[in-house]
């Protein structure tokens, strides 16, 4: 038999096997090609699990510094194994022909998250929105809805939530306090005022600021919108209405004046866990974690979840949290999903995905250069 005759077919077979490998590996920080060989473009993302498929929604970035703004929209990919991702196109497109539209091309549209409402059969996307040309002043959250998971999503509205409503955990004394809004926020006096809700009071009538955000659907199907508010000093956990298209008005302040952003929430054994970061823009900082028996708190800090050298822990393996993925078909298997931002060439941002470990009831994230889902077995 002439072996050489069969060699090309064998090579082709092996190649095909490689690309279709159901147990591919995850290489944090490396270029991550999609089904077309193009680096995945879904930053500040989140995952929706629907019909046994993972859908990864994220910010579509473009080249250069200007690529941090929304020039295209929200990109979506699908996968059944978390390693091979199919480009499903742009789920929500920015508006090209109306300069005054909330999501006009060149606005800032960040951290989109999608949840599915079983009762209305709608896919609901909330995101952080900054109006074009206003820097990060607007601090709004935007809503878009679709009938199909991959879209097209239709923009519905953007707003500052909970106008005219007090948080559940706000005392009568805090409601009555008067503030000198021009005082230095970083003095001891300023910090005390912020902790007591100075910015919340300032924004009471117009609605609360809403920047870095995530969504969380609980087992009872109630959904929550979790965002950095009050000039990024304080997280707000806000209950959404039954259709997920609005706020019920019930919300809590979490970690007032502790400057948390990039929140990501998951639930394990009836407890709620949160990852977050400090506020240093695109630059990484020491990550944070917290636990609660109830989604609305009280939340208890569990410190930096990253476990490595001091240098690695200071920068969270050079990443910032964005979501935690519950792995289908595996018990207690969760993946930390973080962004390694490249602000000077936004499109080159990388993804840091690492398994979440538990040590003495605390979630821990260790570095793996290359790993696969068998780590959870």
Q: Which residues bind ligand GAL (CB under 6 A)?
A: 44, 110-111, 212, 261-262, 279, 281-282, 320
Task: In the chain, count H helices and then E strands.
Answer: 5, 21
**Residues in contact with 93: Cβ distance below 8 Å, sequence separation at least 6, in sequence order:** 72, 73, 152
**Residues in contact with 232: Cβ distance below 8 Å, sequence separation at least 6, in sequence order:** 209, 211, 212, 259, 261, 279
Tokens 């990864």 -> residue: 56
Cα–Cα nearest to 294, from 276, 262, 270: 270
Instruction: Using DSSP, state whether 375 is helix, strand or coil.
Output: helix
| Shortest Å distance, C-beta 319 to ligand GAL | 11
Check if the beta carbon of residue 213 is closer than 8 Å to that of residue 185: no
| Shortest Å distance, C-beta 211 to ligand GAL | 7
Q: 282 or 367, CB closer to ligand GAL?
A: 282
Which residue has the CB atom at the shortest distance from ligand GAL?
A: 281
Q: 28 or 278, CB closer to ligand GAL?
A: 278
Q: 111 or 350, CB closer to ligand GAL?
A: 111
| Shortest Å distance, C-beta 187 to ligand GAL | 23
Q: 201 or 236, CB closer to ligand GAL?
A: 236
| Shortest Å distance, C-beta 143 to ligand GAL | 18
Q: 118 or 186, CB closer to ligand GAL?
A: 186
Q: 44 or 161, CB closer to ligand GAL?
A: 44
| Shortest Å distance, C-beta 136 to ligand GAL | 7
| Shortest Å distance, C-beta 132 to ligand GAL | 15
């Amino acid at each position: 038999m002439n072996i050489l005759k069969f060699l090309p077919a064998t090579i082709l077979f092996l190649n095909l096997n490689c690309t279709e490998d159901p147990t591919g590996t995850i290489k944090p920080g490396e270029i991550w090609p999609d089904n077309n060989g193009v680096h995945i473009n879904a930053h500040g993302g989140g995952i929706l699990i629907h019909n046994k498929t993972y859908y990864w929604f994220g910010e579509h970035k473009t080249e250069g510094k200007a690529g941090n703004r929304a020039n295209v929209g929200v990109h979506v990919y699908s996968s059944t194994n978390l390693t091979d991702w199919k480009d499903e196109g742009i789920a929500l497109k920015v508006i090209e022909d109306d300069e005054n539209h909330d999501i006009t091309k060149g606005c800032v549209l960040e951290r989109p998250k999608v949840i599915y409402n079983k009762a209305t059969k709608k896919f609901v996307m909330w995101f952080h929105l900054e109006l074009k040309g206003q820097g990060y002043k607007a601090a709004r959250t935007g809503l878009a809805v679709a009938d199909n998971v991959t879209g097209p999503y239709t923009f519905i509205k953007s707003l500052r939530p909970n106008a005219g409503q007090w948080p559940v955990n706000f005392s009568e004394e805090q409601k009555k306090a008067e503030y000198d809004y021009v005082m230095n926020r970083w003095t001891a006096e300023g910090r005390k005022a912020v902790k007591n809700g100075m910015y919340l009071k300032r924004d009471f009538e117009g609605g609360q600021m809403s920047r870095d955000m995530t969504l969380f659907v609980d087992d009872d199907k109630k959904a929550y919108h979790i965002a950095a508010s009050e000039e990024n000093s304080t997280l707000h956990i806000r209950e959404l209405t039954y259709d997920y298209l609005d706020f019920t008005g019930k919300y809590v302040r979490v970690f007032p004046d502790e400057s948390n952003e990039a929140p990501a929430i998951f639930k394990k054994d009836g407890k709620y866990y949160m990852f977050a970061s400090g506020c240093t823009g695109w630059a990484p900082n020491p990550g944070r974690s917290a636990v609660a028996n109830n989604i609305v708190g009280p939340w208890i800090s569990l410190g930096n979840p990253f476990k490595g050298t001091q240098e690695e822990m200071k920068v969270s393996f050079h990443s910032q949290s964005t979501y935690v993925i519950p792995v289908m078909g595996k018990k207690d298997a969760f993946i930390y999903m973080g962004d390694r931002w490249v602000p000077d060439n936004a499109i080159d941002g990388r993804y840091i995905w690492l398994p979440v470990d538990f040590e003495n009831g605390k979630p821990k994230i260790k570095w793996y250069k290359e790993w696969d889902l068998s780590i959870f077995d």
